[in-house]
A and B are shown apart, each in its own frame.
Chain A
């Protein structure tokens, strides 16, 4: 029996095999602004005492002008030096694969597969273990990637991100593929943003700054909290005299940029979970995520024996850009890591 959430209880970390990590995605605005280089992002992650990192090649890997990042031997050598210097391992490589490369025709399955194989090779060359796949890829293509992943010793992880649910079709169909093929090279990667119990605080504040009206925000919060979004939401908001900011907030509620379902749905798919995106929007001053109930989620992962990384993945920066909100990406990651340490029973 595990006693949860007691700071300072020694040897707690031996009762589970969950590791903390950081996605460099969290430092994206500092990278964009040129305040942190790729090396400095790695160094900053390492400074929080983690040993595993994650990245989006589309975000931070140099490689212009090739779509497959055209990695030079020099860059690979440099990357490997950084990993040694900062004592971190590359864990997850978050690729997309561009299915909408052309406006006037969809790519063929073979063209998409070729792209994905090239990206998998890039991830492998940099020492990553996991390749993140997203919802826009067909089940057929995912299945066709499996033999290549097996050959390269990579683990494919399909991300379950809002608006999809752990008990939804996207996850169940992928589990069917795992069961049918018997592969050990495909798993599920939950994004904890699917457990946003409210429209994120930073989203509401951003909407207000853009002129959203109080009565419409109240209504949209009520809709979100009811977990039942009416199909004619946009018409309803228009009838309530919604302005552009109101309509944009309503649109995002409708398409499910954030969603909520009971974290207990993680339990049903636990054997297939290979990696977790610890998505967060705002860590409060008291050290808790204001929109996602980590206090409920992490104990579930411990209890069912999840083995793998929980990666800090901060996404609030895109809603607070150009503002002085009293914290930055580094401070947000610090608070998130402190919270994970506490919930995982590590000494603070």
Chain B
């Protein structure tokens, strides 16, 4: 049984900033803006997992990266980052690799954050589902 005793799930995904990511003229995936669904900030190594599901398609863990300010990490890289925090006031950019990205229009996004808090015995899992509109 997993759940989030901390609230803030509803704030996890922003309505804005949902778009395809273009690199060297080619669409390599999509991105969304994410807040920490918690009442306090965490060290990046304590963010055990971020899961993104779009229209029923689960994005593979290795295809997800998180950008905070000018630094970007894959989820595996984050596991060793102990000198950087994700503050509750910071918005991160989550990039999901997906060939050709997503079509313009409405998409059903499900997102999860798994946080290994030091002071509670379970991994806190927050989750939210939202319909986001991707503009061309």
CB-defined interface of B107-131 with A at 8 Å, one 1/0 digit per residue? Answer: 0000000001111011000000000
Cross-chain contact A56 with B85 (CB below 8 angstroms): no
Q: How far is the CA of A247 from the CA of B6 in the complex (A)?
A: 17
CB-defined interface of A12-54 with B at 8 Å, one 1/0 digit per residue? Answer: 0000000000000100100111100000000000000000000
Binds A, one of B18-26, B35-43, B97-105: B35-43
Q: Which of A136, A234, A318 has the most CB of B within 10 A?
A: A318
Cross-chain contact A101 with B7 (CB below 8 angstroms): no
Cross-chain contact B1 with A100 (CB below 8 angstroms): no
Cross-chain contact A64 with B121 (CB below 8 angstroms): no
Task: Considering the complex, give the chain B residue whose CB is closest to the CB of A56.
Answer: B40
**Contacts A248-B1, A251-B3, A321-B10; A58 near B41 (Cβ below 8 A):** yes
Q: How far is the CA of A175 from the CA of B116 in the complex (A)?
A: 29
The answer, yes or no, to whether A194 is at the interface (CB within 8 Å) is no
CB-defined interface of B57-69 with A at 8 Å, one 1/0 digit per residue? Answer: 0000000000001
**Contacts A32-B88, A65-B84, A251-B1; A103 near B48 (Cβ below 8 A):** yes
The answer, yes or no, to whether A98 is at the interface (CB within 8 Å) is yes
Cross-chain contact A101 with B87 (CB below 8 angstroms): no
The answer, yes or no, to whether B55 is at the interface (CB within 8 Å) is no
Which A residues, 128 to 145, have Cβ-Cβ distances below 8 Å to chain B?
134-136
**Contacts A59-B40, A100-B46, A101-B46; A32 near B118 (Cβ below 8 A):** no
Residues of A within 8 A of B84 (CB): 64-65
The answer, yes or no, to whether A252 is at the interface (CB within 8 Å) is yes
Number of interface residues of A (CB under 8 A): 38
The answer, yes or no, to whether A211 is at the interface (CB within 8 Å) is no
Residues of B within 8 A of A63 (CB): 85
Chain B: number of interface residues, binned into ranges: 20 to 34
The answer, yes or no, to whether B5 is at the interface (CB within 8 Å) is yes
Cross-chain contact A134 with B119 (CB below 8 angstroms): yes
Q: How far is the CA of A255 from the CA of B1 in the complex (A)?
A: 12
Cross-chain contact A321 with B3 (CB below 8 angstroms): no
The answer, yes or no, to whether A319 is at the interface (CB within 8 Å) is yes
Cross-chain contact A101 with B82 (CB below 8 angstroms): yes
Q: How far is the CA of A28 from the CA of B80 in the complex (A)?
A: 29
Q: How far is the CA of A319 from the CA of B42 in the complex (A)?
A: 21
Q: How far is the CA of A316 from the CA of B115 in the complex (A)?
A: 21
The answer, yes or no, to whether A96 is at the interface (CB within 8 Å) is yes
Among the listed B5, B39, B82, B121, which residue makes an inter-chain contact with A28, where contact means beta carbons less than 8 Å apart?
B39
Q: How far is the CA of A102 from the CA of B46 in the complex (A)?
A: 7
Cross-chain contact B7 with A248 (CB below 8 angstroms): no
A sample of 26 inter-chain contacts (CB < 8 A) reads A32-B35, A58-B40, A64-B41, A64-B84, A64-B85, A65-B84, A65-B85, A66-B85, A96-B118, A97-B118, A100-B117, A101-B82, A101-B118, A102-B45, A102-B79, A103-B48, A135-B119, A136-B119, A248-B1, A248-B3, A252-B5, A317-B7, A318-B6, A321-B8, A321-B10, A321-B11
- Interface on A for B, CB 8 Å cutoff? 25, 28, 31-34, 56, 58-59, 62-67, 96-103, 134-136, 234, 247-248, 251-252, 255, 257, 317-319, 321-322
A-B interface, 6 closest residue pairs, ranked by CB to CB distance from nearest = A318-B7, A65-B84, A58-B40, A136-B119, A59-B40, A100-B118
